Amino acid sequence: MRNIIPNMLTAFNLILGVFAIIASFHNNFFYAALLIVAAMVADGLDGRVARHFQASSDFGKELDSLCDLVSFGVAPAVLAYVFMLKDFGLAGWIIVALFATCGALRLARFNVDATKIKGYFMGLPIPAAGCVVATFVMLDIKPSGWLFPVMITLFGYLMISTVKYPDFKGKGEKLRFVPATITLVVAGYILYLIPQSILFVSFFAYALFGILNTLFSLFD
């Protein structure tokens, strides 16, 4: 019985992801993006609830990964496609498939390496990647040229990269002053230009900080 509540939260994550896909096909981009962010909240709660009830299990971990793939791999990819990538023909198809595939690879690597890597995430976590895409679409800004496809491709790659991201659970990758300062300046500038972008900036800043922090670690 103790497993029911966390597993229900995990399933709710999946349901929200499916709803986001449906909303995307109906061109309800804002609500689709909001559903993906809500799925991230459900995803964050299920693990905490499982630990509270001492109900962590291998079944729950596998279910969580499957649901995450839908909500943060497939749903954001579909949202990005219907929002703008459909205008790029076959390239749009390929980018959508790559993003979802990178999400699957990211989850598989996390499941295998979870006991080996402590204190940081290897590669951008799939909820963050999915949410940075979703919250950008939420702004209803359509960049000119190939900027949007390149952005989706970049965040897909970051999931399978060796860039180290803080997990905020204690000792881990060193948080460096210069990368943090640059990230704050960039985030502040975007917020100055687009005040309503606070959700996007939150996820984008996390993605950017990981890149900068890893680059600066090469000079330690």
pLDDT, residue 58, reads 72
pLDDT, residue 182, reads 97
Q: Which pLDDT tens digit goes with each residue over 85-122?
A: 999 999 999 999 999 999 999 999 988 876 566 678 88
In the chain, % of residues over pLDDT 90: 70
pLDDT, residue 30, reads 97
The residue type of 190 is: I
- Which residue would you say has higher pLDDT here, 28 or 7? 28
Q: Contact 82/65 with Cβ under 8 angstroms?
A: no
Look at residue 5 and tell me whether its pLDDT is greater than 90: no
Kindly list the structural domains of the chain, giving each domain's residue range(s) and its CATH number in brackets, ordered by start. Answer: 4-165 (1.20.120.1760)
pLDDT, residue 66, reads 93
Q: Which pLDDT tens digit goes with each residue over 42-92?
A: 988 877 776 766 667 777 788 889 999 999 999 999 999 999 999 999 999
The confidence band for 206, taking pLDDT boundaries of 50, 70 and 90, is very high
Q: In this structure, what are the phi and psi dihedrals at residue 120, rounded to the nearest 5 degrees?
A: -160, 165
